Chains A and B, each alone.
Chain A
Amino acid sequence: MNGSGTGGRLVRPFALVGGRTQPSRADFTLITLVTTVDPQPAPVTGLQPEHLMILRRCRVPTAAAEIAAHLDLPFSVVTIMLCDLLDDGRITTARPPVQASGSPDRALLQKVRDGIARL
């Protein structure tokens, strides 16, 4: 059962989310910023360690891709965990200002350009 010796986690990633593979919401893109609600709406007992890690890390707004990187889990798995936390009112999300390819706001483009010029 544990003899393959690959040294990875003992639980297959999707087992962490009860075998579900589809997020309940499409709220999470790679750069959706996640912030932990403070105070929490309910005691955090019963949450999995990964959920608790997310809540700790997102005390400052953190992009979903960063959460996935820190948890070392595939992005879609982390998305499902984030959906759980969002459903429970434990996190809030800020969707990116640019939703689809097309014509982003020129003021935003200029702001990005000005920021890069200061590098």
Chain B
Amino acid sequence: MPGSDTAPGAARAPEAVKILIAGGFGVGKTTMVGSVSEITPMHTEEYLTEAGVEVDDLSGVEDKGTTTVALDFGRITLTPDLVLYLFGTPGQQRFWFMWNDLALGALGGVVLVDTRRLETSFAAIDFFERRGIPFVVGANGFDGEHLYASESIRDALALPHGTPVVPCDARERASCRDVLLALMDHLIAVAAAQPTPEPAG
């Protein structure tokens, strides 16, 4: 598998793909990125204009013309010519919905939920549904607990039929890997079932 068929110094540029890790504030998105990334998660920011956005609380924001959205991201080199980036969206989640480039070209998404406060992840689910981006739900069990069955979570979130709900622990690499595998299986199933994007709501 790791045979290098490119000459040294003439390395072929690898391809890059991305998966979004979304969910409510404090639900473990950056933790999950860090659990599977081969590098310490990196942090970057983007300015977004607020035009067209309903902003009801900008107290403390000095420049009301723009807002800053932060991103934490990690990298997984899957093969010598294929790199996966995981983008998590820490805090201020309502703003990153405006960042089109974030969603553009994403293979799919993981919506992390805290089962004690599911409502904080509604917006992330809505974001993926509106854009026709397939996703799975990772039910992050804090303190190793999973209080609710996946079916209950699915009902409470009113998930589209077939959307997997995977119990997980965002701190555990193997657990995060399993969530990503569930996502890939879902993406492959979606691609097989419907080659065209879902109709917009």
Contacts and interface: CB of A to CB of B under 8 A. Distances in A.
Nearest to B197: A102
Contact of B181 (A31, A32, A113): A113
B188 A113 contact: yes
Contact of A96 (B87, B105, B187): B105
Query: Main SS of chain B's interface residues?
Result: mixed
Interface residues of B, number: 51
Interface in B2-36: 11, 13-18, 36
A74 B84 contact: no
Contacts of B73: 30, 65, 69
Contacts of B85: 30-31, 63, 65
A45 to B, nearest CB: 25
Nearest to A108: B17
Interface in B86-106: 87, 101-106
A100 to B, nearest CB: 6
B70 to A, nearest CB: 10
Interface residues of A, number: 41
B107 interface: yes
Given A96-B16, A101-B133, A116-B177, A109 B188 contact: yes
B194 to A, nearest CB: 8
A112 B104 contact: no
Interface of A: 29-33, 35, 60-61, 63, 65-66, 68-70, 74-76, 92, 94, 96-104, 106, 108-119
Top 8 closest pairs, chain A to chain B, by CB: A115-B78, A113-B184, A69-B42, A31-B16, A94-B13, A68-B44, A69-B44, A75-B46
